[in-house]
Amino acid sequence: MPVRAPLSLLAALAASDFVHARATVAPEPLACKPESTWNTPASPWRIHGESWYVGTCGLTSILVRTREDDVLLDAGTEESAPLILANLRTLGVDPRGIRCLDETFTAQLRASIAAVSALPCDLLLTPHPDASRLWERTDPHATLPLFDRDACRRYAECSTTLLEKRLAKERASTPEASD
């Protein structure tokens, strides 16, 4: 599958002169609110092990660090690229060494709702933090658990419901539907 990322992020990655260093401590996350916009800045923070949240308050970007390389899951939008780069720099990550895997807007994600439902997952992270209620699960006064073995099933059910409602609304607003 082709790798896609906003041109501004790729250009910034190529021009970066940061030295690769393993992040050991991340700053405290900014207090993201459910009503945050896609481009509201957020501080990077460790999710678990070598997985780091480097996105904004409204768009999830996850850095996964391995011995071989660093992988960025979802490079965000052109407007969020500078914020994501700043978060990578805060962690001491050399952006030139990152592999971008940006599948957020592909048709394959839509087709995978049923597969997601069957996944054995305990920790749900989504491109839009509100979709998985991320801030309600990671806040110091969290009202929901971070780990939940039914998270993927519930997320798939909710996604299916929202998708069906959206499709029905779009069908109802097309000229053919009113004939």
Please state the domain count of the chain.
2
Task: Say what the pLDDT of residue 177 is.
Answer: 41
Domain that holds residue 57: 7-101
Q: Which of 43, 75, 101 is the last residue of a domain?
A: 101
Phi/psi of residue 172, nearest 5 degrees: -70, -25
Best-predicted range by mean pLDDT (21-25, 33-37, 43-47, 153-157): 43-47
Q: Is residue 145 part of a domain?
A: yes
CA proximity to 86, closest of 95, 97, 74, 96: 95
User: Which whole number is the average pLDDT over 34-60?
Assistant: 88
Same domain, 28 and 92: yes
Between CA 86 and CA 92 the distance in angstroms is 10
Tell me the pLDDT band of 12, cut-offs 50, 70 and 90: very low
Q: What was the pLDDT predicted at 54?
A: 93
Position 1 in a domain: no
Domain of residue 53, CATH code: 3.60.15.10
* Final residue of a structural domain among 79, 101, 123: 101
Q: Which of 55-64, 94-103, 121-130, 137-146 has the lowest mean pLDDT?
A: 94-103
